[in-house]
Structure 1
Amino acid sequence: MNPSSPCEGQSPEGDPPDDWFHLSTMSLGTQGSDGSRDDPEEPEERGRLKSKFVSAWNNVKYGWSFKSKAHFSKTSPLTMLGQSYLLSHGVERECFRQAFATLLWLTYRRGFPQLDGSSLTTDSGWGCMLRSGQMLLAQGLLLHLLPPGWTWLYANHVSKDDMEVQESRSLGPEVTKKGRRKSIVSFLESRTEVTHRRVVSWFGDHPIAPFGLHQLVEQGTSAGKKAGDWYGPSIVAHILRKAVDAASAEVSNLTVYVAQDCTVYIDDVVRLCERPLSEGSTGPSPAWKSVIILVPVRLGGEVLNPTYIKCVKNLLRLECCIGIIGGKPKHSLFFVGYQDEQLLYLDPHYSQSTVDITQDNFPLESFHCKCPRKISFSRMDPSCTIGFYAKSQKEFELLCSTVSTALSSSTEKYPIFTIAEGQGQEDESDAPPNSITHILTKDKARLRRTNNSNSMDEFVLL
């Protein structure tokens, strides 16, 4: 979607309602108030009040405020995942609302099947980094499986007639009869919504969901993690890689690469992405898998190094960027954009009841957020993982070029990470689960990997 051009079916006139610019009490009650498991004999009104109380308590406890507001400037451009929006322009503002509401929002849940090896049926208070990692992976999957510029129809309230106009233009001038056009548009709409629902189901809180909490916790056991532990952004990157590898039957033609020692090795990515042609196929070269590239980094000591802010902004301007996860224990966020000196994010610290994704037509509303929130760059934790997506070999080559340019524009002598020719010293899949990335002082600047009995998520600035 090109926000500089009008979105089909959107009026450039009028301002959005005030409740779009901030998190309102009503929006909180709507998105999480149906959660507790009430006694079937309990009176309906009592059950409703109990549910609202539990929702309110969980959200106060886990970081959401009823009175929190996120005000957005109408004079400064807002950047989100490679697109720029000027909110003073009605059409661009509506495009931003649609694009933000399309992002998958994965939060704390309660009442799901018990996690293996524990008695836990909720991740409230400990699973925020796993939820942030889910959102990062989900953005890559939406780009991988859905058409460019796709937005969630039921979130943006685009009318069916407007969808017909939009889709018929993409189908070509030969589709002229209204009846035929409606049939084709309905088919395309149905097909994309089925895909969208399938992606959401993959992140459900059920043991069968390939990227649900149960599977991610299981993948973390090889690194010594268990349900209830704190998961840092680096270990989550490796957990996501393992989860995608294990789900090759559900997600074909996709692989995940995790950078070593703050370096993306081009030959290693090529080796992962090249795959033999299927039997009977012919061609000059192997087929190419799409790739999600995850880069664990440290952007300073205890606080974000101010010189890296420009670099973070440059990366979020790129269409290949799928977001940044990071944060201290119980403070993980999924960053998707910025405006001026504030980051735009999705917050997993909101306890909602579990949705049964095994049911047909399960509700989707709680997996999407319509309330953008912001945080100052100065409050961003320096330990994070940055994500990118390339659909084809050509896109990967473009990614290498644009990311390198974005990194080199920083005034810092040594960039956040590098993209280098050649191979890493060890196979990424064989990386020891317990390791530390040490960032040396400038007079001895070089990256090295050492073993340690602590978590691989610890980054030390020497």
Structure 2
Amino acid sequence: MRPENQTQKRQFFKQMRRFFRNHNDMAVKLKYLACLEATLEPDDIPKTTEPVWVLGKRYNAIHDINKIRQDVVSKVWITYRKNFIPIGGNEGLTSDKGWGCMLRCGQMVLAQALVSLHLGRDWLWDPQTADQTYLKILRKFQDSRQAPYSIHQIALMGASLGKAVGQWFGPNTVAQVLKKLVKYDEWSKLTIHVALDNTVVVSDIIELCLTKNKLDGANLTKTDWKPLLLIVPLRLGLTEINPIYISGIQKCFQFKQSLGVIGGKPNVALYFIGCVGKEVIYLDPHHTQKTCTVDDKMTDEQIEADSTYHCKYASRINILRMDPSVAMCFFCKTEADFNEFCQRVKSDLIDPEKEPMFEICYNKPKEWSPTLENAVDAGNASFSDFQGTSGKFFDSDHEFEIL
């Protein structure tokens, strides 16, 4: 019998534990586990008539469950790793377990931006894919000193912002680090803007993204748009999400430009990629895998390495369980995308809300004194400082105004 609710599931697992205590034959146990896997439906997406949103795409949980799972597994999933080359020298850390979850979430957002830019939002992964553009993107996040967006590069760039290797990052810090790193990667053709003080300033983005280039053999110029990853760090409460922001969070996942949310729950960083009702859907970086290389995906080991960058099933939690320190992420490939984004922010997030999550304006107010770009998150403590403690740690951005 397949358990249909949480009570039945608890009873089912009690029966399973009792079975394992009473049977010593390993063959019998393996057969039992195979039957269990075949009968238990994954609890990743609820059976509901409410729409399921994944980075701007709408699905029906009843009719589109396979499409939803294919979309989820196609996202680049980046987790803790172990036994990589030491960070910062021979005595450096060789694993990011316990401290690198927010760094991994930042990698996932950037990887999805590059996939959307170079392969398209509708691109789907399968275990046999050998697409060279996809593999090139993946190699940029491998755990090596040479990869431009590796854990090594992010951790060391974080040190320049006051975060020693091994310290937790908050959403603002990882956004500022990615903004700096992307400038050194010409192939990606991407620019990152971090909106400060809960305000998206349109003129700043236009100045950043619009470039004029001379046409060969003529005095004419053309204007090009540099694809934009927009990150908006926010503080949506003191120690928990203020319920007035639930609607805004839900609407952000419905934007065509949605690239998810860097955030988490207390003590845990997560990458939120969608929502269903009042629950958010996320990818969890808290799985320690061995360091591996994909290269050109020619060997069995490299094929297996590729599979470690894709999560079969997403997870979900109630929006109110999210940590209030978040960073909303959006990808605008073209100027038209950005103009549409601005219109939707006004119509969906500002006009109907008593307390908008963030504002949008064309020019900076004259009296505005924005937070310094290199400001970092609260809590200058290393992972070792918290071992043996109660585990209480709020990875926050104290410089953002509490609304």
Question: Which TM bucket (shorter chain)?
Answer: 0.7 to 0.9
Partner of 1:197 in structure 2?
135
Q: In the aligned structure 2, how far is the partner of 1:211 from the partner of 1:457? A: 26
Per the alignment, residue 297 of structure 1 pairs with 234
Ranges in structure 1 where 5+ consecutive residues have no aligned partner:
1-21, 26-66, 156-188, 437-453
- Specify the alignment match of 2:50 in structure 1: 76
**1:262 corresponding residue in structure 2:** 198
Tell me which of 97, 104, 110 is aligned to 1:131.
104
1:421 to 343, 359, 362: 362
1:277 to 2:213 alignment = yes
Q: Alpha-carbon deviations, 1:342-389, whole Å to 9, x = none?
A: 110000011111112456542310000111211111211110001001
Picking from 81, 88, 94, the partner of 2:62 is 88
Q: Which amino acid aligns with 2:357?
A: I
Q: Residues 97-124 of structure 1: CA distance to partner in whole angstroms, max 9, x if unpaired?
A: 2111110100000011000055210000
Could you say which residue in structure 2 is the equivalent of 1:98? 70
Deviation at 1:69, TM superposition (A): 4.2
SS at match of 1:389: strand
Alignment partners' CA distance in 1, 2:271 and 2:217: 41
Q: CA deviation at 1:242?
A: 0.7
Q: Is the 8 Å Cα contact of residues 275 and 287 (structure 1) preserved in structure 2? A: yes
Identity of aligned residues (%): 33
Q: CA 1:382–1:418 in 2, change beyond 3 Å: closer, same or farther?
A: same
Aligned CA distance change for structure 1 residues 194 and 276 (closer, same or farther; 3 Å): same
Report the CA distance between 1:339 and its aligned residue.
1.1
The whole-number CA distance in structure 2 between the counterparts of 1:266 and 1:459 is 20
Q: Tell me if structure 2 keeps the 8 A contact 1:128–1:349.
A: yes
TM-score by length of 1: 0.68
- Residues 173-208 of structure 1 show CA distances to partners (whole Å, capped at 9, x for unaligned) of xxxxxxxxxxxxxxxx86xx1111111111111111
Give how far 1:434 is off: 4.8
Give the Å deviation of 1:279.
6.2
Q: Say if 1:150 and 1:71 are closer, same or farther in 2 by CA, change over 3 A.
A: closer
Cα distance in 2 for partners of 1:287, 1:125 equals: 42
Task: Quote the residue 1:398 is aligned against.
Answer: 340
Shift of the 421–262 alpha-carbon distance from structure 1 to 2, 3 Å rule, reads same
Letter in 2 for 1:277: N
Instruction: Provide the C-alpha distance between the structure 2 equivalents of 1:328 and 1:343, rounded to a whole number of angstroms.
Output: 11
CA 233–206 in structure 1, closer or farther in 2 if over 3 Å, else same: same
Distance verdict in 2 for CA 1:281–1:270, change over 3 Å: farther
- Pairing 1:242–2:180 present: yes
Alignment of 1:145-224 (within 5 A): 145-154=118-127, 193-224=131-162
Match of 1:386 in 2: 328
Q: How does 1:365-384 map to 2 (within 5 A)?
A: 365-384=307-326
Q: Distance in 1 between matches of 2:377 and 2:98?
A: 25
Q: How does 1:14-25 map to 2 (within 5 A)?
A: none
Return the TM-score normalized by structure 2: 0.78
Residues 1:226 and 2:164 aligned together: yes
Question: Matches of 1:308 and 1:349 in 2, distance apart?
Answer: 27
In 2, distance between residues paired with 1:396 and 1:353? Answer: 39
Aligned length: 342
User: Secondary structure in 2 aligned to 1:375?
Assistant: strand
